[in-house]
Structure 1
Amino acid sequence: MRILLVLAHPLEDSFAAAMAKAAQDTLAAGGHEVDLLDLYREGFDPRLSQAERGGYFNHPYDTSGVDDIVARLRAAEGLILVFPQWWFNFPAILKGFFDRAFAPGVAFTHDPAGGRIVPKLTNIRLFWALTTTGSPWWIVHLYMGNPVRRLLKRGIAAFCAKRLNFRMLALHDMDRVTDAGRKAHLARIRNVLANIR
């Protein structure tokens, strides 16, 4: 399987980077083709431009500012996102990735009659998220209602294949997790990714 692995963290020595490395190595060892898109290292600009927003309903929509990323997204059969949750949400650079790359004509087409949008990323049949939170599990799930998972599964995943393999692996209470806990989480990531076929 060809997998687009998207990393969204500014620090090269972050735990997110360690998760991405574990994922990349495990997937490659399993025979998958892995395309690592490190948004910070590749200098991705998350800002939706005035022209991009102004032409949102133009046909065809102009994706020239992100053509390379769009090509990588269209070539993928799997999409794995690696990111921390800040303020119970995506890092701004990852939100910008959705804003700019999941564009009309790429992720969906508008219904000219104003009805439902039509998904176009049906090439994506596996969509996983590897993430961390600074908050404990009960705050994320019980108090906040797990907003990132909801956004990914009910919103963004809706643009992908109908029988999508969706999964989210999260390490909660990150600021208090021990080294042993971090190592155990990396082992868990390796274990579940090794079973992707």
Structure 2
Amino acid sequence: MRILLVFAHPLEDSFAASTARAAKEVLEGRGHVVDLLDLYREGFDPRLTAAERDSYFMERYDASEVSGWIDRLKAADGIVLVFPQWFNFPAILKGFFDRVFAPGVAFEHDPAGGRIIPRLTNIKLFWALTTTGSPWWVVHLYMGNPVHRLLKRGIAAFCSKSVQFRMINLHDLDRATDAKRKRHLERVRALVSRI
């Protein structure tokens, strides 16, 4: 399987970076081809351009500035996202969704209105490996787990109705001990090894 591993964190020595390295190592060890898309190191600009927004509902979306990233998305069989939840998605990852998961790429607008039509049927697997600074109960009970809902219902659904979605999260990272972090990385390795 060809996996697009999308990493969104500015620090190369972050826990998210350790998670991305662990996932990449396990996936490659299992024989998968991993395309590491490090949004910060590749200089991805999250700002939707005027031409992109202007063409959003036109017959053809202006993807000229993001065509390389779109090609990588279209070449993938699966997506694994690695990012921290900073109230929501990091801005660079939100911009990646805005600019790359675009009309004519990830979906088509229904000409009759209503639901969108999925276009990324090549994507069979959509996983997210994330962290939060908040405890589990705050994310789930108080906030309603918004990132999970947006990823599963709003973004993964663009790909295909039958895409395999999974989100693995370490909560309360700000207070996590080294032992808790190591246990989480072991959990990530074990779960990713099933792909």
TM-score normalised by the shorter chain: which range applies? Answer: over 0.9
Question: What one-letter code is carried by the residue in structure 1 that aligns with 2:163?
Answer: L
Match of 1:97 in 2: 96
Helix, strand or coil at the partner of 1:84: strand
Distance in 1 (CA, whole Å) between partners of 2:153 and 2:145 is 12
Partner of 1:69: 69
Per the TM alignment, residue 125 of structure 1 is displaced from its structure 2 partner at its CA by: 0.7
TM-score using structure 1 length: 0.97
TM-score (norm 2): 0.98
Matched, 1:186 2:185: yes
- For the aligned residue pairs, the C-alpha RMSD in angstroms reads 0.7
Q: How far 1:195 sits from its partner (Å)?
A: 1.0
Deviating more after overlay: 139-148 vs 153-162: 153-162
Partners of 1:162 and 1:151 in 2: how far apart? 15
Q: Secondary structure at the match of 1:124?
A: coil
Instruction: Give the match's secondary structure for 1:112.
Output: coil
Aligned equivalents of 1:149, 1:50: Cα separation in 2: 29
Name the CA distance, whole Å, in 1 between partners of 2:38 and 2:136: 27
**Corresponding position of 1:165:** 164
Whether contact under 8 Å (2:84, 2:132) holds in the other structure is yes
- 1:108 counterpart residue number: 107
- Percent of counterpart pairs with the same letter? 72
Question: In the TM superposition, what whole-angstrom CA distance separates every residue of 1:92-134 from its partner, at most 9, and x where no partner exists?
Answer: 0000000000000001111222232110011111000000000
Structure 1 runs of 4+ off > 3 angstroms? none
5+ residue gaps, structure 2: none
1:2 match: 2
Equivalence for 2:122: 123
Provide structure 1 residue ranges, at least 5 long, that are not aligned to the other structure: none
Residue 147 of structure 1: CA displacement? 0.3
Give the residue type in structure 2 aligned to 1:71.
D
The residue identity in structure 1 corresponding to 2:38 is D
